[in-house]
Chain A
Amino acid sequence: QVQLQESGPGLVKPSQTLSLTCTVSGGSISSGSYYWSWIRQPAGKGLEWIGRIYTSGSTNYNPSLKSRVTISVDTSKNQFSLKLSSVTAADTAVYYCARGPYSYFQHWGQGTLVTVSS
C-alpha cells in the first residue's frame, strides 16, 4: 500500500519561497501511470489543486498559481517537491500531496500546515 508523507517548514516569511517535499513509500514514484499532485486547504475552507507531475516528469499547474509554482521529482529519493514563490498570508494552508490515476486523488499524505507570517 503506497503511503505519502509531506515535510517542510511550518512557517515561511512573506515574499519568501515555500518548499515542501513528499516522500513516497510502498512503491516506486517512477513506476505505473500515476500523477503526483499537490493540493492545499486554507483553514475552514475548501480544496485547491496546485499542480502535478507525471511519472514521465511532465507537469501541469493551476493557472492561478502557475507563475509561482514549480513541482519536481527526485526518483533516487522517491520524492517529489513543491516550491511556491513570493508567498503571502493567502498561501497559509494545509498542504497535501496525493497520488492518483488521471485527475483522481486515490492516496493522500496526512497534510502539513504552512503558515506565512513574519
Chain B
Amino acid sequence: DIQMTQSPSSVSASVGDRVTITCRASQGISSWLAWYQQKPGKAPKLLIYAASSLQSGVPSRFSGSGSGTDFTLTISSLQPEDFATYYCQQANSFLATFGQGTKVEIK
C-alpha cells in the first residue's frame, strides 16, 4: 500500500490567512493526487485532482501543487466556510489511500 502522510494534523488560522497543508506519499505517485474537504456530518468534497487541477465549482483560492512524493494544498485567503478537515488521497493505483486529515480550525 502507498502510505499518505499529512502535516500538520491541525492548524489554527484566522479569516484571511494563507494556509498550507502538505502531503507526502511513501513512494512516487507522479501527479495522481487529490484533495478533499470534509465538514462535520457531510461527505468529502473533491477540491483538486491530478495534483493541481481545480474541480469545477471550487473557488480559485484553493490551489494544489507538487509531483512525485511531495504535495501541497494552499488556501490563499481563508474564508469562514473553509473551516473543515482536509484529506489528500493518492490515485496512482486502484488501492486508493488517504492521508489522516488536517483540521483547519478558527484561531
Residues of A bordering B, CB below 8 Å: 37, 46-49, 52, 60, 62-63, 96, 98, 100, 102-106, 108-111
Q: How far is the CA of A109 from the CA of B44 in the complex (A)?
A: 9
Q: How far is the CA of A68 from the CA of B34 in the complex (A)?
A: 28
Chain A neighbourhood of B87, CB < 8 A: 46-47
In the complex the two chains form, is B43's CB within 8 Å of A96's CB?
yes
- 19 inter-chain pairs at a CB distance below 8 angstroms, sorted by A residue, are A46-B98, A46-B100, A47-B87, A47-B98, A60-B94, A60-B95, A62-B95, A96-B43, A96-B44, A102-B32, A103-B32, A104-B34, A104-B89, A105-B34, A105-B44, A105-B46, A106-B46, A110-B43, A111-B43
Q: Report the contact-size class of chain B (Cβ under 8 Å from the partner).
A: 20 to 34
Min CB–CB distance A1 → chain B (angstroms):
10
Q: How far is the CA of A62 from the CA of B94 in the complex (A)?
A: 9
Task: Pick the contact of A108: B43, B49, B91 (CB < 8 A).
Answer: B43
Residues facing A in B2-55 (CB within 8 A) are: 32, 34, 36, 42-46, 49, 55
In the complex the two chains form, is B99's CB within 8 Å of A46's CB?
yes
B96 at the interface (CB under 8 A from A): yes
In the complex the two chains form, is B94's CB within 8 Å of A103's CB?
yes
Residue with the highest number of chain B CB atoms closer than 10 Å, among A46, A96, A104, A110: A104
Min CB–CB distance B87 → chain A (angstroms):
6
Q: How far is the CA of A52 from the CA of B36 in the complex (A)?
A: 19
Q: Residue on B with the closest CB to A109?
A: B43
B64 at the interface (CB under 8 A from A): no
Residues of B bordering A, CB below 8 Å: 1, 32, 34, 36, 42-46, 49, 55, 87, 89-101
Chain A neighbourhood of B46, CB < 8 A: 100, 104-106
In the complex the two chains form, is B43's CB within 8 Å of A46's CB?
no
Q: How far is the CA of A104 from the CA of B44 in the complex (A)?
A: 12
In the complex the two chains form, is B93's CB within 8 Å of A103's CB?
yes
Task: Pick the contact of A47: B32, B44, B90, B94 (CB < 8 A).
Answer: B44
Q: A103-B91, A111-B43 are in contact. Are A49 and B34 (CB under 8 A)?
A: no
